[in-house]
Amino acid sequence: MATNPPPKLQVRSSENDRLKRLKETFISKFGLAPVFYARAPGRVNLIGEHIDYCGYAVLPMAIEQDILTAVSLNKTQVIQLANTNPLYPDFTSRISDIHIDKTKPLWHYYFLCGLKGIQEHFSLACPPGINCAVDGTIPASSGLSSSSAMVCCAGLVTLEANKKTLSKVELAEICASCERYIGTEGGGMDQSISFLAEQGTAKLIEFNPVRATDVQLPDGAVFVIANCCVEMNKAATSHFNIRVMECRLAAKLLSKAKGLDWKRLLKLGDVHKEAGVTLEEMLATVEELLHPEPYSQQEICQCLGITLEELCTGILSQNTQDVTTFKLYQRAKHVYSEAARVLEFKDICDQTPAKAVQLLGELMNQSHVSCRDMYECSCPELDQLVDICLQSGAVGSRLTGAGWGGCTVSMVPNDKLDSFLSNVRESYYKTDARRAALETQSLFVTKPGGGAAVLLEV
């Protein structure tokens, strides 16, 4: 149940090699055994890209790869972080003096986001110090939500360390909000699925309020993740936050043109709701009221009847002040069409028609085309990988996650899986030495995994 707290599961490190290695690392680093462990999974979004922050439902599932932490408390009010990956240096700070630098998205800042979110929620005056060793199996900057999993795991660690209780939904909402400390204006999908995921089922995640509905994926096909090996860090690039702002501006212009309260409305989903029409009618409205040519700041001001100063101080975020043109038609068209595809995807899963696998594959393909052409969040390597996946037997393939690098997700009929994996290896990974070296962690079959949990050793 989403209203329950995350589960506390009993584990034996002697029966789990990864847990055993993490425990040994922790003891060598801090000189004592961990008191508890916590994990938060990454996710793959099957369909519904860049629409959660517009207020629309998405359809992800948790993956097996996760952030796993070993934790003990200290009486010095100091947080000490260590990472099993030597690329990520240790970090120490007084727990009352947390500083997060938006200009440098270092690994420990994501942990500090989750820590700070829980501290502020409970107004913790004297929280205990925390010793924490972190082990991650989610490829970084791959579109599988490694950063949000870190925030969620840190939030759960801080909750447990302070002996506080929150529901999965409350935790998801706090962690979605506090990730903005590092400058990511996300919509809440990643944190919601990390806490609300259940083994064996994908989830339709809806927002305002956050709620999750089981989506049983059809038999006869599996989902395969393939990393294009181009890294993209959401917080390190302006692309993501510009798209968020373009959607906000499109919502403002559409609501003003429709005679709605444009000053109050921030999301394309809000405009749709207030207008009281169908998604198809919203798409027609976009065609009617927005033009494909980019909008300048001056034109936006003219449409809204505001000054440039009012636009910059009242609407644009700090990191989009210098953007001179905005593509509003393309972004709105993607959002409304992608929102419709999500609902159609769920309907097909619920109704299980004879050609369910093919129908779902077609929706995934449409989604990728829209992400590539309308939202412009793909890259040449992702497009090449999608083409190779389709040529290798996938019925549907699309970028997943923010894009501009990272992973594809492909729907592959069971009887074509072996040849699919072989063909993708040969055609994409073995043609490039760097990709070939990364192939074992870059191409894998996935199934719906469980959500975040506290692990207690017995």
* 404, 379 Cβ separation under 8 angstroms: yes
Per-residue DSSP letter, 136: E
Q: Please tell me which residue in 66, 190, 270, 347 is annotated as part of the active site.
A: 190
Burial class for 376, CB neighbours closer than 10 Å (0-12, 13-18, 19+): middle
Establish whether 219 is a catalytic residue: no
50 three-class SS: coil
Peptide bond into 209 cis (omega under 30): yes
Tokens of 123: 């107004």
SS3 417: helix
Cβ neighbours of residue 80 closer than 8 Å, sequence gap 6 or more: 30, 74, 90, 91, 92, 129, 130, 131, 132
**Beta bridge mates, 70:** 37, 133
Beta bridge partners of 203: 214
Paired strand residues for 8: 454
Helix 107-122, helix 168-178: angle, nearest 10: 120
User: Which backbone phi and psi does 28 adopt, to 5 degrees?
Assistant: -65, -30
Which of 43, 233, 214, 51 minimizes the C-alpha distance to 145? 43
Give the bridge partners for 91, in sequence order: 81
Identify any residues that bridge with 244 across adjacent strands, giving them in sequence order.
none
Calpha distance 234→182 (Å, rounded): 10
Strand locations in 137-255 (E):
202-206, 211-215, 221-227
Query: What distance lies between CA 301 and its chain's CA centroid?
Result: 32
Phi–psi pair at 317, nearest 5 degrees: -75, 165
> Residue 226: CB partners within 8 Å, gap ≥ 6?
385, 389, 407, 408, 410, 424, 428, 442, 443
Residue 413 DSSP symbol:
E
Q: Which residue has the tokens 């922790």?
A: 26
Query: How does DSSP classify residue 33?
Result: -
Active site residues: 190
